[in-house]
Amino acid sequence: MAMQGGNWGATGSVDLSATEDGDDGLKVMTLRPRRSLFRRFALQSAIVALPLIGIAMWSEQQFNPGTRWALAWSVLVVAVLAVYVVVRYRRTEISVSPYGLVERGFFGGLNSVAARDVVSIVRLHTYRRASDETTPQLFLVGRDGRCLLRMRGAFWDDEAMDAVSASLGVEEIVRPAPITVSELRASDPKLLYWFEQGLLRRPAKTSKAA
């Protein structure tokens, strides 16, 4: 297997590997989420952990043993959570080839999507909550209209989205006007996660005349 690229860019990375299969080479791209999110999380973890460590050290002569143990456990929990997030984030990736893609999610789950099951690719921008700023979104849509895979601009850069779209070679539908999540819920609820769809409205019951 010959590896090309593999360097982190300003926001994420795109690795291109070629696996020889007879006379034909299968090109597989490995996409990884934005690196800037990793730096932001590291900074936030330090902001939380460092004061706790300082308080724990200062409490050696100030508090009773029970309080000191509670502070020590708090520091340990923050450290364990930080390590867990770092490991899971570094393992999050999408492998793309002309035959489809395999997504390894943050929690380790695998989502395989065959290219033949993708009917269209929808790209649009959604407004962030209480803001005029927008976030790009990419949806791989199946035959039943449901989302097979979703890439959000908060985690994936435009280069990664372009790579997925170009590799699959299916119709791309670009919606130029930004919309809210509520508007997307009304027009295309199958594209959203279950927690974004809200409660399904049940039709009102009609009483039968006696």
pLDDT at 44: 66
Above pLDDT 90, what percent of the chain? 37
pLDDT in tens, 187-202: 999 999 888 877 444 4
Q: From residue 120, how far is each of 53, 132, 172, 175 by CA, in Å?
A: 51, 28, 6, 13
Q: Report whether 35 contacts 11 (CB < 8 A).
A: yes
Question: Tell me, what's the pLDDT at 162?
Answer: 94
Say if strands 134-141 and 120-127 run parallel, antiparallel, or are unpaired: antiparallel
- pLDDT, tens digit (0-9, with 9 covering 90-100), for 46-99: 666 667 666 666 666 556 677 777 777 877 887 788 788 888 888 899 999 989
In this predicted structure, the answer to whether residue 7 has a pLDDT above a threshold of 50 is: no
Listed residue (192, 32, 11) closest to 96, CA to CA: 32
- pLDDT of 130 higher than 90: no
Residues 33, 156: Cα–Cα separation, whole Å: 5
Where is pLDDT greater, at 131 or 133? 133
- Mean pLDDT in residue range 134-144: 94
CA distance 98 to 2: 18
Per-residue pLDDT at 114: 95
Q: What is the pLDDT of residues 141-160, one digit of tens each?
A: 999 999 999 999 988 999 99
21 or 159, greater pLDDT: 159
Give the pTM: 0.69
**Residue 171 vs residue 102, higher pLDDT:** 102
